[in-house]
A and B are shown apart, each in its own frame.
Chain A
């Protein structure tokens, strides 16, 4: 049988109707959670070894526990739905297909850490998701799944939907918090970590939307059941966004630990007719490049993996594509999305882009090649947040695989 957690009921659910979600067993996890203690909820999630689906793969249960151990009684729970990695559309799909799943997950999470206020930070470009989430919050409030003394318990929760301006950097949790606070969306220094001092300097959990969508299932079916799916180090399933030169591009749910090649063939129907596979980029524009021999690599959160899973998007590139144009498109993205705070990222992405433009139009010289390697190195090693590193990742692989002769080290 196919194992599905998040997309299991998308074909039967009407995203605009709470009744349809309830008919499918919705909000039972919240009822169940409210009957046990918050600490037990955290214990259960920790036991399930659920990992952050945003890309970093940090243990969700551990994050909750650290937050719960803080002295301050005022806490916040944030759902990160600022998804803006190019080629990634899983969180948006969750919000558009099953918004109540998210609301329920947020409610359980907020209950676990005893937060009275939760936020959903939505990418401003997702207007349909905004509509469904707004409606879902209203409906859930009506049925007392949100609001005061939820379902007769002593737990109250308000969820506020924050619509951002669609900046990539606001997906970084400290920048996201800055944005909610009304400040400029720039990453802040860590430590202090958000678990200790997050939103308005209070302990805060920031979870990716897909992570949260797993929570109701785990509470309902138990951690044991969850551990049966996926691999030992990365239990559960993952949403994969497959795009590019494949027969059936789209969103697919598969157990973690699946091989890259298997995923492309089994789910997306293999390489499109008449195309030759060149490489696949795993995890959006900030992801690494997997060539033919990497196709057996497993997609999981194991830190020893050669190809990190990232946000879970897979872009398949065929041999007809112009790698220089592709590099330009990556760099344009990172140059535009740099917050401009630190020198290597603000100035470096800009200079790198102009070098790549010259590479594309044939004006590239030896000096540019030297500068290219310098800039990739400084982005990789010295930037304030991970955005600089992301900008360098794919370029490093282009050099490594010798895709562009002019860039030989």
Chain B
């Protein structure tokens, strides 16, 4: 099946729009509302204009025109160019003069288009010399009618003066996360995307809306200034932890896509600006995996003995998922694992344990978590042990403001006692990764024998929703073959499928790992946004995680040397009284 675009033939797949065919073949068509993850196209920005053999002289949108055999498409001529330009000028008139103060300055899809089209005048707003000042002010104010600034939560910041009504946030929230926070409010020029009655946001704070927003209407809550203030406070000991997904994506913020060396620069960069200690977030993932594995083994043994095990276990790794269960599925709350998230573990261990070995009053410690997740900010709101959460995007802004060239920094190391990590400690950045790490540890814990091949690619090949049967053979300590079923999903719409299954049959899955963001934390709500829609950074990020697991000498959480030491010196055994006190949330 082929269509003709600008005189050349191209293959197309059934159901594809003309715009998708163009994108695949690198034919440039400007758009603002279209996104390949959020199909079908809405056709509201009216920039992806084309003419086809069906439409004749009429201009149509390519995102809403289905490709069909023999269709001929013209992607550019005088009329098309004129229409795109005028419509872009209209949007720009509403945005004029707002860039300098804007967080997304330099990383904004509207700004890029304005630059491509060389739109530098506020065309539809009369200039001061031609008119009375009041007139211009009135027109500028008109565009600020119904302005809403939503600052009522710790994760996401909304300022609808930047909104271009592209509907991407509406779609990602409704179609992928099924939360439906956003809709269109008002009409005509006053139309704005917003929440119902413009109430402050109250959702799961996955931040996907911010990731898909082409402008700065929805962004992560900016705490760069707070970070700067903390770093200047010499009376405090500043302790950081860096989540493994940050090591993978931070380079992107600096345009270094395939550069692995960035990860060693982070401790150096942070220490350069006043950090006293920088801990490895993957270490805390290891601790969580050890505890989750222990929890699972205990329950399975209970069930083997004929007791009730209260299965399945819903992993509490993803804080958006935890919020989702608390808000929308309260009946399932008792299945949520009460083991703290890695960030909470970082906070607890730093303030309860590290302060003691360093003989410092814990009130003098400030803990800062660097993460790819917007929801961790919400989580830290109630966590007294974590003082500040900074997303990758904020860290990039912080470093760029100081003109830091990452690649020129010397390599640094994470600090003991929380420096080492296993391959499993990195995997939870990926959907299915936590489950895989747990499986590695469960196997050895139950059999008492070493696992020869540790990579279970089944866990990682998750396309939305998957069940993996993990067999623990009759071997070593294990007297009877046991099948453990893992349920894995990312995106809430897929999680709902698991929930439906588990509601009917509690034994359908034993351990359920759900990540709210598509593909896991590597695509979290605080990760760098790539405004180049043609890039495949999701794939690259996933490969990068797998590579790091492969390269690490130790792949199992329970063999992490720092973790072993921590259990010996402080926690005792997994699941002990002490761990209950330090590593678990009280119900």
Contacts and interface: CB of A to CB of B under 8 A. Distances in A.
Contact of A184 (B47, B86, B91, B183): B183
Contact of A383 (B46, B93, B123, B191): B46
Contacts of A356: none
A336 B90 contact: no
B513 interface: no
A368 B132 CA distance: 15
A384 interface: yes
B424 to A, nearest CB: 46
Interface stretch (A25-33, A217-225, A289-297, A345-353): A345-353
Interface in A360-375: 363, 365, 367-368, 371, 374-375
B37 interface: no
B166 to A, nearest CB: 9
A338 B90 CA distance: 15
Given A354-B139, A365-B130, A381-B79, A340 B90 contact: no
Contacts of B44: 341-343, 384
B82 A377 contact: yes
A149 B95 CA distance: 60
Nearest to B94: A347
Contacts of B45: 342-343
Interface residues of A, number: 35
A189 B43 contact: yes
B291 interface: no
B404 to A, nearest CB: 38
A351 B93 contact: yes
A114 B187 CA distance: 36
A342 B45 CA distance: 6
The binding surface of chain A is classed by DSSP as helix
A367 B188 CA distance: 24
A363 B131 contact: yes
A341 B59 contact: no
Nearest to A339: B187
Candidate in B44, B45, B86, B190 with the most chain A CB atoms within 10 angstroms? B86
A335 B188 contact: yes
Given A186-B184, A343-B87, A363-B131, A350 B189 contact: yes
Interface string B315-332: 000000000000000000
A382 B64 contact: no
A354 B188 CA distance: 14
Nearest to A381: B59
Candidate in B43, B49, B90, B123 with the most chain A CB atoms within 10 angstroms? B90
B64 to A, nearest CB: 5
Contact of B191 (A340, A351, A365): A340
Given A378-B86, A381-B83, A340 B184 contact: yes
Contact of A347 (B132, B187, B189): B189
Interface string A146-188: 0000000000000000000001000000000000000010100
A337 interface: yes
Contact of B87 (A184, A336, A344): A344
A347 B91 contact: yes
B190 A375 contact: no
A337 B187 CA distance: 8
B458 interface: no
Given A344-B90, A347-B94, A382-B59, A371 B188 contact: no
B59 A340 contact: no
A340 B135 contact: no
Interface in B10-52: 40, 43-47, 49
A342 B86 contact: no
B283 to A, nearest CB: 49
Interface in B65-96: 79, 82-83, 86-87, 89-91, 93-94
A375 B191 CA distance: 19
Interface string B411-444: 0000000000000000000000000000000000
Contacts of B91: 343, 347
Nearest to A382: B83
Given A189-B64, A382-B59, A384-B44, A340 B186 contact: yes
A337 B83 CA distance: 22
Interface in A20-63: none
Contact of B188 (A349, A368, A378, A384): A349
B273 interface: no
Given A167-B187, A335-B189, A340-B189, A348 B90 contact: yes
B292 interface: no
B86 A340 contact: no
B165 interface: yes
B142 interface: yes
Interface string B180-218: 000110111111000000000000000000000000000
B86 A341 contact: no
B148 to A, nearest CB: 15
Nearest to B40: A189
Contacts of A189: 40, 43, 64
Contact of B93 (A167, A342, A347): A347
Contact of A340 (B47, B131, B132, B188): B188
Contacts of B86: 344, 348, 374-375, 377-378, 382
Interface string A363-403: 10101100100110110011110000000000000000000
Contacts of B117: none
A367 B89 CA distance: 14
Interface string A314-356: 0000000000000000000001111111111011111100100
A385 B357 CA distance: 69
B75 to A, nearest CB: 15
B188 A350 contact: yes
Nearest to A335: B188
A346 B142 CA distance: 13
Contacts of B473: none
B124 interface: yes
A374 to B, nearest CB: 5
A10 to B, nearest CB: 36
Contact of A382 (B46, B130, B132): B46
A378 to B, nearest CB: 4
Contacts of B82: 374, 377-378
A350 to B, nearest CB: 4
A347 B90 contact: yes
B247 to A, nearest CB: 40
Contacts of B130: 365, 367
Contacts of B40: 189
B184 A351 contact: no
Contact of B126 (A339, A342, A368): A368
Given A342-B45, A384-B44, 10 more contacts: A340-B165, A342-B46, A343-B46, A343-B47, A344-B46, A346-B188, A354-B142, A358-B126, A381-B58, A381-B59
23 contacts: A167-B187, A186-B184, A340-B186, A341-B165, A343-B45, A343-B47, A344-B83, A344-B87, A347-B87, A347-B90, A347-B91, A347-B93, A348-B90, A363-B131, A363-B135, A367-B130, A375-B86, A378-B87, A381-B79, A381-B83, A382-B83, A382-B86, A384-B46
The 3 closest A-B pairs by CB, nearest first: A340-B191, A347-B90, A350-B189
